[in-house]
Amino acid sequence: KEKTVKSKVGEKVGLPCCHEIPSSESLHNYRVYWQKNTTEVVLAYAEGKMISKHERYENRTQMDSRNLTLWISPVEILDNGSYQCVVQRLNFPQNPVVVCDERVTFTVTADFSKPNITAEVSANTCESTEMVVTCSSHGGFPRPEMSGALNNKSVVWNASWVSESSLSPYNITGKLLLNMTKDVSITCSIEYNGFAKSTSLLLRKTNDCVVPTAPPSYNVITASSIIIIIFFLAITLLARYLPRHGKCSSFFKKQSLTA
């Protein structure tokens, strides 16, 4: 069965080989090839000396001289892939004998940023609020899956991914159109290589309603009109009465003086 090793970017990892050199022998009796994807030689040893090393692994790899473990540090995303350890025993003067040839699958993980949720109101009425909700995360590997929940019920995000290549960090963005009649709790989760990160946000229904003022009823208008008319009639009568009353008073004063 093919072995699988997992590690995160920046860590130190050891890829196991299929052979361990007995204590009675040494690396001088062997040829060891560590290859990636069957074509790229990571490093190679013959008769105890390094005969080849890939420039991308320079200063990042070393091999244990006894159990032939390939150590990589720090791990990079580009290290992700299938490795092969081939060991030959040198039986002079006979031809070398292959003592083991085994593959190791190395799975590299780079952490994604904590998902970021934003919401924008696209339409609003007294009854409901329409929102465009966006969830985004970046800088991780491998390609993630996005899931979500609305008030603890599953929702499907319309997700899209961006990456320069199959062995580059991924950015993911998901969108959701919500028609809200009340406040809701939204959760966005990013899952990758057995790891997960989540963010939750409480979305509040906006209430920018302006209730129209009811026009005054017919009875109110009629009553108001009658009151105004009576008021003006009263003022008119007073205006006519007061001048006459003033004349009568002056007449009586003159009569008194004559007597």
How much is the pLDDT for 88?
95
What digits encode the pLDDT tens for the residues 160-180?
999 999 999 999 999 999 998
Query: Can you list the positions of beta strands (E) in the chain?
Result: 3-8, 13-15, 30-36, 40-46, 49-53, 61-63, 70-72, 81-89, 97-109, 116-124, 129-140, 145-150, 153-155, 158-162, 170-180, 184-192, 195-203
Is pLDDT of 211 > 70?
Answer: no
Report pLDDT for 127. 83
Domains along the chain?
A: 3-109 (2.60.40.10), 113-203 (2.60.40.10)
Q: What is the pLDDT of residues 31-80, one digit of tens each?
A: 999 999 988 999 999 999 999 999 999 999 999 999 999 999 999 999 99
